[in-house]
A and B are shown apart, each in its own frame.
Chain A
């Protein structure tokens, strides 16, 4: 997979590139409009991660260019701008998703996977974990043909952990994934423990859930 990252903040770009390249993704970086425009004209990309606030132009114009020159590229807008109009306009102009800064790499990866699934018709994808089968189409967990009912939040948490196997995901990252940023206090990060407890209880009635590990004081990880 080849990605173009359009980001004028050098430090942020460096971290995103580092993270993506670890997953063996080929990444190009453009730090301004002119560079990005050139890259879009020359190369073929699967994904364009686009920051709207560029020093020499508006990211929205670049989005149009991307849609003209890179018809098959999927676009995620990454921006620290708060204007709802930008979001609506971006999506109306063909962006596939919109991620507000500051974002988590894990969230970015989850969004990219979701878009790929959606665009390529992989919605019927099923993921195995231990003796269980996650059905992403029906949002259910199966065990030897039997359906185990999880709440939406529980399923979302389990899926998020599964996208990032063998990696510690802290409570804040999990909380942000399922609740967003607009609860006033930090209680929601403690509520993650409750959901994990419920997931363990529900799945534990059928088979071992040792693959779902607790990292004390930090978060959780799925060991495969």
Chain B
């Protein structure tokens, strides 16, 4: 998942959680404080009534000689009421609670302040109630408004965050696209600083550039070394080669002399191959090859099939080609692709049982083009594969007649070209799978 997507999701989630908390607690807090306010108001009214009673007595509330009667007063909208009752059996009460009252067959919720007090040796119960309907309506209204605000906020936040985070990490994306993606090709790296006012990105960009300067320097030193080593190694071989060729050109050579020259030529050939293989590996490691070609993989397989079929036949093998839809591998190197596949095929030919078939398969899959080179033979040992995977150039278990560079060349080139290679090998054969990414 990209950083921008993660940031967006994180922002939304964090804001969502905070808003949800307010949504959950806001109305209840509001209700709590509203009740507190009502309670204070009720207590204040209770104190006012007690003051009136203490000043004016109970005459205003009770009819003389009617010991059972009480006083009750509701305002016109039944939002508030006051109730006074004489108590025959008094008890202590000073409480505020919610209670429903049925008035004209309608249940109305009240906040009730109940208080028992004595006046002139009589006990009275005083209730002052205030309707909760208004608070409940406000509670519902505010909950709805908060919910709508939350949704609107989240939608707006999504768009704004999206725009903001994209803009914010634009330099970071540029660093990834233009810089980090080129770290495997130091020679192609561009050192122009990415425009940004964010200090962290500036530091990252500078650090990557510094690192690449050092890698480039090291690559260049390696390139010069390889070039000089190549010159120093190849020049004496060239001299030997030309001298032997000059001998070969002598028409008076006897058969025995020719065979001796061939032995010398073979030794030089071996030496040349070792030098060339080591230089090839070094140059691939040093990213010296250009990746500017578009390679048709089906055409490549066709060419290999045409070239190697007669050779397979001569070794009592059959080469079978199965190709489906073509795929053109862009920004690649045709020669290296050919060397890579050719070495795998050469390996398959060398280690196949006589009379068996080597399958050369090219198939286009969802996100990759696969080339399989399948043979039946003794397979490649696990130890050898481990050594190749560890990047070991001089393979310990390679047979004497073979240097083992072939495998290393396959894996190094594949890595350079961005091709994934798997070699599934057991005692009955080997399946080399080359996976060329299609995107």
Type the 1/0 row for B267-288, where 1 means its CB is closer than 8 Å to any CB of A. 0111011001101101100001
A215 to chain B, nearest CB (A): 7
A10 to chain B, nearest CB (A): 9
Counting chain B CB atoms within 10 Å of each CB, the highest count among A15, A151, A153 belongs to: A15
Once the chains bind, are B234 and A101 in contact (CB under 8 Å)?
yes
B254 to chain A, nearest CB (A): 11
B196 to chain A, nearest CB (A): 33
B262 to chain A, nearest CB (A): 5
Beta-carbon contacts under 8 Å, B286-328 to A: 288-290, 303, 306-307, 310-311, 313-314
Once the chains bind, are A106 and B230 in contact (CB under 8 Å)?
no
Once the chains bind, are A181 and B272 in contact (CB under 8 Å)?
yes
| Contact flag A101-B258 (CB < 8 Å), given A83-B226, A170-B265 | no
Q: Which single residue of chain B is at the shortest CB-CB distance from A184?
A: B406
Once the chains bind, are A185 and B406 in contact (CB under 8 Å)?
yes
Once the chains bind, are B403 and A191 in contact (CB under 8 Å)?
no
Q: Whole-angstrom distance between the alpha carbons of A189 and B241 in the complex? A: 17
Chain A residue numbers with a CB within 8 Å of B223 are 83
Beta-carbon contacts under 8 Å, A151-203 to B: 151-153, 166-168, 170, 172-173, 181-189, 191, 193-195, 197-198
Once the chains bind, are B238 and A80 in contact (CB under 8 Å)?
yes
Once the chains bind, are A191 and B231 in contact (CB under 8 Å)?
no
One of B226, B238, B258, B401 near A217 (C-beta < 8 A):
B258
Once the chains bind, are B350 and A106 in contact (CB under 8 Å)?
no
Chain B residue numbers with a CB within 8 Å of A188 are 346
| Contact flag A215-B258 (CB < 8 Å), given A85-B288, A101-B235, A172-B266 | yes
B383 to chain A, nearest CB (A): 19
Once the chains bind, are B346 and A184 in contact (CB under 8 Å)?
yes
Query: Is A224 part of the contact surface with B, judged by Cβ < 8 Å?
Result: no
One of B251, B273, B283 near A184 (C-beta < 8 A):
B273
Query: Is B165 part of the contact surface with A, judged by Cβ < 8 Å?
Result: no
Q: Which single residue of chain B is at the shortest CB-CB distance from A154?
A: B310
Query: Is B405 part of the contact surface with A, judged by Cβ < 8 Å?
Result: yes
Chain A residue numbers with a CB within 8 Å of B409 are 182, 184
Once the chains bind, are A84 and B231 in contact (CB under 8 Å)?
no
Q: List 25 A-B contacts (CB under 8 A).
A: A15-B242, A15-B246, A19-B245, A53-B231, A80-B231, A82-B279, A82-B283, A100-B234, A102-B238, A102-B268, A103-B241, A105-B249, A106-B245, A151-B310, A152-B306, A167-B249, A184-B277, A184-B347, A185-B402, A194-B310, A194-B311, A195-B310, A198-B310, A217-B259, A218-B261
Give the B-binding residues of A (Cβ under 8 A). 9, 11-12, 15-16, 18-19, 22, 53, 79-86, 88, 100-106, 151-153, 166-168, 170, 172-173, 181-189, 191, 193-195, 197-198, 215-218
Q: A152-B306, A181-B276, A182-B276 are in contact. List 7 more A-B contacts (CB 8 A).
A: A84-B290, A85-B288, A185-B346, A185-B350, A185-B403, A186-B270, A186-B273
